[in-house]
């Protein structure tokens, strides 16, 4: 397995529990935020996004909350399943109007779901 590089924070939950993964972003000019899931050996997979004119957005079993005052983003996963086990990254983007299309990724959190 992977054993070098930054130590990833880890969240372990029981199957069926709700999970909350948090992220602090740094750029107050960012106006688009995305949560990605990355399984071992694969590319980041889009989960849900939110624009800065919203503070909450819901998808299937997932909810993203945005608090611009404290520059905080969270991902809530309801009824966590073993297939949710992965590393989760938040990413921010300033958009074309902000002068940048690049995604700036956070450090990631490893979610482990125990059956």
Partner 1 sequence: EPEVTQTPSHQVTQMGQEVILRCVPISNHLYFYWYRQILGQKVEFLVSFYNNEISEKSEIFDDQFSVERPDGSNFTLKIRSTKLEDSAMYFCASSEFTSGSGDEQYFGPGTRLTVT
Q: Which residues bind partner 1 (CB under 8 A)?
A: 2-6, 8, 31-32, 34, 36, 41-46, 49, 51-52, 89, 91, 93-98, 100-108
Q: What's the CA gap between 80 and 54, in Å, rounded?
A: 25
Q: Smaller CB distance to partner 1: residue 69 or 102?
A: 102
Read off the tokens for 43: 């590319």
Q: Smaller CB distance to partner 1: residue 37 or 85?
A: 37
Smallest gap, in angstroms, from Cβ of residue 63 to partner 1?
Answer: 18
Q: What's the CA gap between 57 and 80, in Å, rounded?
A: 18
3-state helix, strand, coil in the chain (%, to 5): 5, 50, 45
* Residue at token pair 């958009």: 95
Read off the tokens for 77: 């996963």
Smallest gap, in angstroms, from Cβ of residue 15 to partner 1?
Answer: 26
Q: What's the CA gap between 8 and 114, in Å, rounded?
A: 18
């Amino acid at each position: 397995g992977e054993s070098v590089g930054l130590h990833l924070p880890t969240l372990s939950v029981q199957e069926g529990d709700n999970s909350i993964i948090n992220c602090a972003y740094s750029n107050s000019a960012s106006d688009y935020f995305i949560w990605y899931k990355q399984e071992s050996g694969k590319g980041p997979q889009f989960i849900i996004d939110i624009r800065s004119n919203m503070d909450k957005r819901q998808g299937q079993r997932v909810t993203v909350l945005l608090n611009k005052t404290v520059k905080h983003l969270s991902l809530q996963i309801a009824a966590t399943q073993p297939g949710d086990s992965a590393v989760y990254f938040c990413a921010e983007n300033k958009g074309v109007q902000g002068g940048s299309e690049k995604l700036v990724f956070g450090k990631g959190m490893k979610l482990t779901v125990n059956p």
